[in-house]
Structure 1
Amino acid sequence: MQNNLKTRVLIVNDDGIQSGYMRALALALARIADVFVFAPEVEQSGVSQAFTVRRGLSLKKVDFTQDPSLEVKGDCGVLEAYSMSGTPADCAKFALGHFALHGVATEGVGPGPFEVCFSGVNLGENSGVSSLYSGTVAGAREAALWGVPGIALSLRGSTANMLETAKEFAVKVVKDRLFERIPVGVFWNVNFPKATAETFKGYKATKMALGMFTDHYSHEHGLWQLDGDKLWDEQPKDSDDYLLNQGYATITPHRIDQTDEESLEVINEMLAGGVCG
C-alpha cells in the first residue's frame, strides 16, 4: 500500500528498461518517494519527441527487485516499473495521460498525478543542439507539455562518481521540492561532465549552445555512416557545451514555447503591407 504523503515521481528514459543508470536512479528515489518507471523496451536514443500513433503499444510490468542491489526495503516508497514498446515520449504520455488516473487497467484507479518527472540517467551528453535530437530530453519536454515539472539527466562520461552525483542531485530536488520552482512550460536539461570527484567543479546555470556537430559521412560496405563531434571550446563561455567540457554540471532551462516574438512583429508588418495578400 503506498504512502500518499510521499512525492509521486515518474521516471522515463531513452536507453531502455535495462539501463542500469536509470534503475540506480529509481532505487535512490524510491527511498524517499513513490517511484513509477516507464521505459522503452529497447533503446530509443536520438528519436527526439517522436510518438506512436495508428498502431498499438504493448506494456509489460518489470520486477526490479529481482536484482538484489535494487531491492527496496524498510520505509521506502512504492517502486513500480513497466516497459513499453514505444518511444520516451510514448512512455511519458501514457504515464501522465492514462496511468496516473487509471493505472494499467482500461478503467481503474491510478496513483494520482505525478509531481515531477525525471528522464534518465542517460549515458551520453545531451547539451547544446544534442538536446534537439535527444529522446532523454524529449521525456522531460513531454512532462512539461502536461504541466508536470520535467528534468532530464545525462552523463557525458560513464564515471561511477558522476552517476552518484546525478543521483544525489535528483534526491535533493525531490527532498527539498526544488521542482516546484520550475515554471509551467519550462523543463530543466541537466548534464554531468566526464570528471572524477577531484576534477568535478560543481554546478552552473547555463544557456543552450547552438554550435552544430562536425557531421560527416563515410561510405562503408554500401552504407553511409554518420560520425562527428562538437567544437566544445568554440562555444560561448556561458553555454552548456563549453562549461560541461570544463568539468561543470550544467543546468539549462528550456521552454516549450518556441515562438520568436521579434519575428512576429516582422511578419505582421509584412502582412500589413500586403506582401502575402
Structure 2
Amino acid sequence: MHDNSKTRVLIANDDGIQSGYMHALACALAPYAEVFVFAPEVEQSGVGHAFTVRRGLALKKRNPVDVAEGHVEFYSMSGTPADCVKFALGHFATHGLSTEGAGPGLFDVCFSGVNLGENSGVSSLYSGTVAGAREAALWGVPGIALSLRGTNANMLDVAKSFAVSVVKNRLFEQIPVGTFWNVNFPKATAETFKGFKATKMALGMFTDHYSHEGNLWQLDGDKLWNEQAKDSDDYLLNQGYATITPHRIDQTDQESLEVINEMLEGGGMI
C-alpha cells in the first residue's frame, strides 16, 4: 500500500545503483517520504543528457530497504540517468511495471545524487547527475541535483540534512516550473564549512590537456577555481560554501533572438 499523505520522492544518480551516497540519501528521506530509487545499473558519469531510443532498456527490481518509519524501493536500469528519470516519471508513476497497470502516483520532487564529485560551473553541462534533475524539470517535477566535491562524511551529512529539510518543509514547491536546482557541497570539515550561498553558474572552462600513451589519448585537467566570478558557484564552492544554483530549461538567448530577427527583417540573412 502506498501512503498518499506522504511526499513522493524519486531519486536517481549517475554513479550507479551501488552508490553508497545515493543509498544514504534514500534512507535519510525514507522516514519523511515515499522513496523510489531508479538508478543506472553501472556508472554513467559524464554522459550528460543522453538517453536511449534505438534499443530496449532492461529494468531490474532490487531488494527494498526498510528503515525506522520508512521504506525504499530500488530499481536499476541499463540506461542513463535521463533514462531512469524519464521512465520513472513518464511510465512507472502511472503504470507501474506493466503497460496497463496502476503506478504509485505522480512524484512531488526528484533528487539526483548524492554524486561523488562536483558538478558546479561548466561541469553541470557534462554531468549525468545534473541531467537527472533537468529531466525531472522537463516533466514539470521539481528537480534537485546534489553533488559532493570531496568525500568528507560531514558534507554527506549536510547534503542529507538539506534534502530532508527540502522535503519536510516542502521547499521544492518554491522551484518554478521549467527550472531546477544544482546544489554542490565543498571539501570542508564541520569547522571549515561556511554555510549555503545562492549563486550563479561559473563559465570558466577546464584547463584541458591530453597525454598520449600508445594509441590512446588521455584527458586530464582542472578548473581555475579562484579566477571565476566571485558570486559564482565554482568560486564560492572553493571557498567552503555549499552552492545552490538555479538552472533554466529554456536556453534561449533573448538578445541574440532580437539580433536574428533584425537580420531577417532587414534581408541580411537570406
TM-score scaled by length of structure 2 = 0.99
| Post-superposition offset of 1:4 | 1.0
Amino acid at match of 2:175: I
| Post-superposition offset of 1:177 | 0.1
Q: Does 1:187 align with 2:170?
A: no
SS at 2:243 equivalent: strand
Q: Does 1:22 align with 2:36?
A: no
SS at 1:45 equivalent: coil
Tell me the residue number matched to 1:86: 79
Within 5 Å, which residues of 2 pair with 1:23-172?
23-65=23-65, 71-73=66-68, 75-76=69-70, 78-172=71-165
Tell me the residue number matched to 1:202: 195
Distance in 2, matches of 1:114 and 1:64, equals 18
Q: Deviations over 1:61-86 (max 9, x none)?
A: 11143xxxxx423x32x411100000
TM superposition outliers: structure 1 runs of 4+ over 4 Å: none
Distance in 1, matches of 2:196 and 2:248, equals 20
Q: Deviations over 1:151-187 (max 9, x none)?
A: 0000000000000000000000000000000000000
SS at 1:31 equivalent: helix
Amino acid at match of 2:164: V
Q: Does 1:244 align with 2:270?
A: no
The unaligned stretches of length 5 or more in structure 1 are 66-70
User: What is the CA RMSD across the aligned residues, in angstroms?
Assistant: 0.8
Distance in 2, matches of 1:143 and 1:3, equals 22
Q: Does 1:216 align with 2:209?
A: yes
TM-score scaled by length of structure 1 = 0.96
SS at 2:236 equivalent: helix
Tell me the percent identity: 82
Distance in 1, matches of 2:34 and 2:67, equals 11
The unaligned stretches of length 5 or more in structure 2 are none
Q: Deviations over 1:244-275 (max 9, x none)?
A: 00000000000000000000110011001112
Amino acid at match of 1:268: N
Tell me the residue number matched to 2:257: 264
Tell me the residue number matched to 2:4: 4
